[in-house]
Chain A
Amino acid sequence: MMLKITIDNQTIEVEEGTTILQAARKIGGSVVPPAMCWYSKLEGSGGKCRTCLVKVSEGSAKDPRPLPKLVASCRTPVVDGMVVQNKTSPEVLEARKAIVEFLLINHPLDCPVCDQAGECDLQDLSYDNGKVSCRYQESRREFEVIDIGNLIKLHMNRCILCYRCVYVADQIAGKRVHGILYRGDVSEISTYIKNSIDHNFSGNVIDVCPVGALTDKTFRFKNRVWFLKPMTAHRDCPTCSGKVIAWMRGSEIYRITGRKDEFGEVEEFICNECRFEKKNINDWIVEGPTTLKRHSVISQNHYKEIKTPSIINPLKEKMEKQTNDE
C-alpha cells in the first residue's frame, strides 16, 4: 500500500516503512530537512543530532490531530495522510536554530585550519540556520589528543557525536576497536587503549563524518578542498567497486574519496587501498570533471555553472540582517 504524505504543501506517495526524511528527499529542494547523524546506508543511525526535527501538523488521515512535539524526521515513519511542516513552520526553524547553537557552543570553530572546511555539514548547517553572534561565554570543551593510526586523524574537539563512524565500524569495517566512551558532554570517540583503526574499509569513517573530526592523514594540510578539481575516476579494484572521485590539481591527485550524492552521502563505500594508496594518476582511469550535486562551498568551483550568485550574496544579506537584529 502506498502512503500519502504532504511536506511543506507538496504531496507525494511513498512505500510503507519510508521515513519522513526519505519522503522529503524524494520531493527534493527546500523541503528536505538537514541531517547530521542519519545516514541511509548505516542501519540504526539517526535520531541523535535533532537537526532534522519537523512538525507533524496532522498525524494521519485517520487521526488528524497534530503530534505534541517536533519529531526527528529521519526516524519517524510516514503514516498515510500525514501532513508535515519543515521550512513552513516557524517552530521548526526556531528549534533548528537552537540545535545549531547547541552544536556550536563547544565546537572549536577552527575552520581556518580544518581540512573539512568547504565541505563541512556543520558549516553548511550554520550558514543556513545559525546566528551570527554567540551567547556562550563559558570555556569550551577540550579533549586530550589521541592517535588512532597512520591513516585517519581524530580531532575529538570537533566531533558532534553523530555515531556514524561507530556504525561504519560495526557494519562494514569488521572488528570494531573504537566506540563512544564516557557519557554526557564528555563522551568521546576513542579506542580506550592504544589501538589503530585499520581495516580494509575503515577509511570510510572519513567520508561519513559530517565534520572535521575524522580526516584523511594522507591529505592533511595538503590543500584546501575548493582549490582542487573533483574528477570522476575508477579502477579495477579487487576489493571494492573502485568508483571514486579523485581530487586533483594539475595532474596530481591530492586525495581520493567516495562519490557522494546531493545529500552528501557516498554512493558506494570504497576500500582503503583505493583511498590511501593510489595517489598516482596512472592508477586511475579518469573519466572527467564532475559536478558536485551538493550545495556547499566546494560546489562553487569551476565545474558548476552558477546561474545566480546563490551562495555569496544571500549570505551577505542574511548576515547583515542578523547583525541588525541582534
Chain B
Amino acid sequence: MGRKILLENSDIPNIKSFDVFRAHGGYVSVEKALKTMAPDEIIEEVKKSGLRGRGGAGFPTGLKWTFLDRKSNKPRYLVCNGDESEPGTFKDRYLMEKLPHLLIEGMICSSFALGVNTAYIYIRGEFKYLLGILNQAINEAYKNGFLGKNILGTNFSLDMYVHPGAGAYICGEETALLESLEGNRGNPRIKPPFPAVVGLYDCPTVVNNVETLANVGYIVNFGGDAYASIGLGKSTGTKLISACGNINNPGVYEIELGMSVEDFIYKEEFCGGIKDKLELKAVVPGGSSVPIVPKELILFTASGEKRLMTYESLAEGGFESGTMLGSGGFIVYDQNACIVRNTWNFSRFYHHESCGQCSPCREGTGWMEKILWRIEHGHGNMKDIDLLISIADKIEGNTICPLGDAAAWPVASAIRHFREDFIFHVQYPEIVKNIKHGALYKYDNQD
C-alpha cells in the first residue's frame, strides 16, 4: 500500500520544466513506445492494466480505445478533458500545475497508440493560469523533439494545443466538450453516434480525462500487468483523491485503490480527521454528483464490512446504501453541517449549470432548487419532501446527458439518508430561519 504512479516526483523542485522532468525519467515511455512498440501493443497493455476513466464514469480506458473507428480515412483526434468542474474535485488542476509534462508524455503515447496526429487539451476557463503552464510545457516538448513532425526521427507526427473553455460545468461531458471545442454552445450531442465514430469535426475522437492519460506513460514503461498489480480487484492502479470539506488536511492525495475509507479520513498522512475535533456526519466520496452517505455507511457497508476506496466497495449496496467513487472528489461534512442547506446548494449548482437543451433537466433542476430553497428557508411543507423524490426520479435516466442524473442523485440520497433533517426544517421553520450558517468563526483566530 502507498505506491505512487503520478505524484511520485511531484515535490522535486522545478519538475514543471522539461529538463528536470526528463532528468527524472520523463519521456522514457515515448521513446519506448515510438521505437519499440506497435500501436496495438500499447492498446493491449492499457487493456491489461485495467485502467478506468478517472473523470467519474470509470469506464475501462482500453475498451474505449478499441471503439475508435479505424476504418474511416478521416483524421482522428485525441482530446484531453481538463474541464474539471465537479464540486469537490480539484485533482486534474493539481496534476497539470505540478506535472504538465507527465500529461503531455501520456498523451503522446496515447496518440501514437490511437493513430492520432492532432491532440487538444481542453481546460476550463477558470484555469487561465494553467494555460500558460501547459503552453510553456508544450513549447518545451516541441523544442526537444517530442512534439511536431517526425518525433524522435520516426514517421510519427503530433501537434498538441490547449483550448480554454469559458465557464460551463456541462463542458465536462465529452460531447458538450467537443461542441465547445468547435466554438459552439456546450450542448451535449444526442448519442448515438458516439465520439469514437463521429466526434470532433465529425471525425473519430477519443476523449479522456487528464488523470487517465497521465497514467499511460507508466503503463507503457512497466506494462499493463505491473499497473494491474497495484490496487485491488477491478480497481487497479492508484487514484488521485481531492479531499475537502471539514477535515484537517484538505488536499490532493494519490492513494492505492483498496485502502479503507476510515484510514483515509482519519490517518494523519491523509485527511487527518475531522476539523476542530468534531464528529463525522456524512461524506460525498466522488464529487457532488454521487450520493451522499452518512458516517455509518461510508465507514462500513450495509452488511458490516469495512468500506474500501475502490469503485466496487463504494458502490456496494447500490443506491440504497452505497455511493460511487466518481471523480474522487471527497467532501467531508462534520456534525454541524446542514444537509438540507448543502442539498439546496448542490441543487442550485445543477440548476445553474444545466444547458437547457432537454426538458427534464432544464425544468426539473430549477423546480428542485426552488423547493429546496423553500424548505431551507423555512417555507417548506411535508408534501415537498416526497415531491422532491418524485421529481428526481423523473429526471433520472430521461435526459440527453448524465447531468440530469447528477442533479437527481444528491437530492434523492440526501432525503433517503437524512429525511429527519428535512422534516425538522419543515416542522420548525422559525428555528431554521434563525440558524446562522457559514464557518467564518472558525477563522477568527487564525493568521
A-side residues, CB < 8 A to B, are 46-51, 53, 69-70, 72, 75-77, 95, 98-99, 101-103, 105-106, 135-136, 138, 160-161, 180, 182-187
Q: CB distance A103 to B363 under 8 Å? A: yes
User: Among the listed A47, A53, A138, which residue makes an inter-chain contact with B367, where contact means beta carbons less than 8 Å apart?
Assistant: A138
Please give 16 more A-B residue pairs, beta carbons under 8 A apart, in addition to A99-B360, A183-B185, A184-B366.
A50-B398, A51-B359, A72-B400, A75-B190, A76-B192, A98-B360, A98-B398, A99-B359, A105-B363, A135-B387, A161-B359, A184-B352, A184-B353, A184-B356, A184-B365, A187-B362
- Residues in chain B near residue A102, CB distance under 8 A: 359-360, 362-364, 367, 394
Task: Give bound CA distance, A307 to B192, whole Å.
Answer: 42
* Binding site secondary structure of chain B: helix
A105 to chain B, nearest CB (A): 6
- Residues in chain B near residue A99, CB distance under 8 A: 359-360, 398
Return the chain A residue nearest B367 by Cβ: A105
- Residues in chain B near residue A51, CB distance under 8 A: 359
Binary contact readout B390-406 vs A (1 if CB under 8 angstroms, 0 otherwise)? 10001001111000000
A160 to chain B, nearest CB (A): 7
Q: CB distance A46 to B359 under 8 Å? A: no
Return the chain B residue nearest A187 by Cβ: B356
Pull 17 A–B residue pairs with CB atoms less than 8 Å apart, ordered by A. Answer: A47-B400, A50-B358, A50-B398, A50-B399, A69-B397, A69-B398, A98-B398, A105-B367, A135-B387, A135-B390, A161-B356, A161-B359, A184-B356, A185-B356, A185-B363, A186-B356, A187-B355
Q: CB distance B190 to A53 under 8 Å? A: no
Q: CB distance B354 to A50 under 8 Å? A: no
B31 to chain A, nearest CB (A): 42
B-side residues, CB < 8 A to A, are 168, 185, 190, 192, 351-360, 362-367, 370-371, 387, 390, 394, 397-400
- Residues in chain B near residue A180, CB distance under 8 A: 185, 356
Return the chain A residue nearest B359 by Cβ: A102
- Residues in chain A near residue B363, CB distance under 8 A: 102-103, 105-106, 185
A206 to chain B, nearest CB (A): 22
Enumerate the 8 nearest inter-chain pairs by beta-carbon distance, A residue then B residue, closest first.
Answer: A47-B190, A98-B394, A187-B356, A102-B363, A138-B370, A184-B354, A185-B366, A184-B356
Known: A102-B364, A102-B394, A161-B362. A183 touches B400 (CB 8 A): no
A198 to chain B, nearest CB (A): 25
A274 to chain B, nearest CB (A): 33
- Residues in chain B near residue A95, CB distance under 8 A: 394, 398
Task: Give bound CA distance, A184 to B361, whole Å.
Answer: 8
- Residues in chain B near residue A136, CB distance under 8 A: 367
Known: A103-B363, A106-B363. A183 touches B394 (CB 8 A): no
- Residues in chain B near residue A47, CB distance under 8 A: 190, 358, 400
Return the chain A residue nearest B351 by Cβ: A184
- Residues in chain B near residue A76, CB distance under 8 A: 192
- Residues in chain A near residue B354, CB distance under 8 A: 183-185
Known: A102-B363, A185-B366. A49 touches B358 (CB 8 A): yes
Q: CB distance A50 to B360 under 8 Å? A: yes
A94 to chain B, nearest CB (A): 8
User: Among the listed A46, A98, A183, A184, which residue makes an inter-chain contact with B190, where contact means beta carbons less than 8 Å apart?
Assistant: A46
- Residues in chain B near residue A186, CB distance under 8 A: 356
B324 to chain A, nearest CB (A): 16
Return the chain B residue nearest A141 by Cβ: B366
Q: CB distance B360 to A48 under 8 Å? A: no
Task: Give bound CA distance, A138 to B387, whole Å.
Answer: 13
- Residues in chain B near residue A185, CB distance under 8 A: 351, 354, 356, 362-363, 365-366
A217 to chain B, nearest CB (A): 27
A235 to chain B, nearest CB (A): 39
B190 to chain A, nearest CB (A): 3
Return the chain B residue nearest A103 by Cβ: B359
B97 to chain A, nearest CB (A): 29
Known: A99-B360, A184-B353. A48 touches B185 (CB 8 A): no
Return the chain B residue nearest A186 by Cβ: B356
User: Among the listed B360, B362, B387, which residue makes an inter-chain contact with A184, where contact means beta carbons less than 8 Å apart?
Assistant: B362
Q: CB distance A50 to B359 under 8 Å? A: yes
Task: Give bound CA distance, A160 to B398, whole Å.
Answer: 16
A44 to chain B, nearest CB (A): 9
Task: Give bound CA distance, A98 to B387, whole Å.
Answer: 12
Task: Give bound CA distance, A137 to B394, whole Å.
Answer: 18
- Residues in chain A near residue B397, CB distance under 8 A: 69-70
A271 to chain B, nearest CB (A): 30
A96 to chain B, nearest CB (A): 10
Return the chain A residue nearest B383 by Cβ: A135
- Residues in chain A near residue B192, CB distance under 8 A: 76-77
- Residues in chain B near residue A70, CB distance under 8 A: 397-398
Return the chain A residue nearest B352 by Cβ: A184
B242 to chain A, nearest CB (A): 26
- Residues in chain B near residue A53, CB distance under 8 A: 398
- Residues in chain A near residue B353, CB distance under 8 A: 184
Task: Give bound CA distance, A37 to B362, whole Å.
Answer: 15
Task: Give bound CA distance, A69 to B398, whole Å.
Answer: 8
User: Among the listed A75, A106, A160, A184, which residue makes an inter-chain contact with B355, where contact means beta carbons less than 8 Å apart?
Assistant: A184
B202 to chain A, nearest CB (A): 12
Most chain A beta carbons < 10 A, residue from B359, B362, B370, B371? B359
Return the chain B residue nearest A180 by Cβ: B185
Known: A53-B398, A136-B367. A183 touches B356 (CB 8 A): yes
- Residues in chain B near residue A77, CB distance under 8 A: 192
Most chain B beta carbons < 10 A, residue from A46, A99, A182? A99
- Residues in chain A near residue B365, CB distance under 8 A: 184-185
Task: Give bound CA distance, A65 to B168, whole Å.
Answer: 36
- Residues in chain B near residue A49, CB distance under 8 A: 358-359
Task: Give bound CA distance, A161 to B352, whole Å.
Answer: 17
Task: Give bound CA distance, A70 to B398, whole Å.
Answer: 7
- Residues in chain A near residue B370, CB distance under 8 A: 138
Return the chain B residue nearest A98 by Cβ: B394
B357 to chain A, nearest CB (A): 5
Task: Give bound CA distance, A70 to B168, whole Å.
Answer: 27
A277 to chain B, nearest CB (A): 35
A60 to chain B, nearest CB (A): 13
- Residues in chain A near residue B387, CB distance under 8 A: 135
A30 to chain B, nearest CB (A): 21
- Residues in chain A near residue B362, CB distance under 8 A: 102, 161, 184-185, 187
Task: Give bound CA distance, A53 to B396, whole Å.
Answer: 13
- Residues in chain A near residue B168, CB distance under 8 A: 183
Q: CB distance A48 to B364 under 8 Å? A: no
Task: Give bound CA distance, A69 to B405, whole Å.
Answer: 12
- Residues in chain A near residue B398, CB distance under 8 A: 50, 53, 69-70, 95, 98-99
- Residues in chain B near residue A105, CB distance under 8 A: 363, 367
Return the chain A residue nearest B193 by Cβ: A77
- Residues in chain A near residue B357, CB distance under 8 A: 48, 161
Task: Give bound CA distance, A106 to B213, whole Å.
Answer: 43
- Residues in chain B near residue A187, CB distance under 8 A: 355-356, 362
Task: Give bound CA distance, A171 to B387, whole Å.
Answer: 42
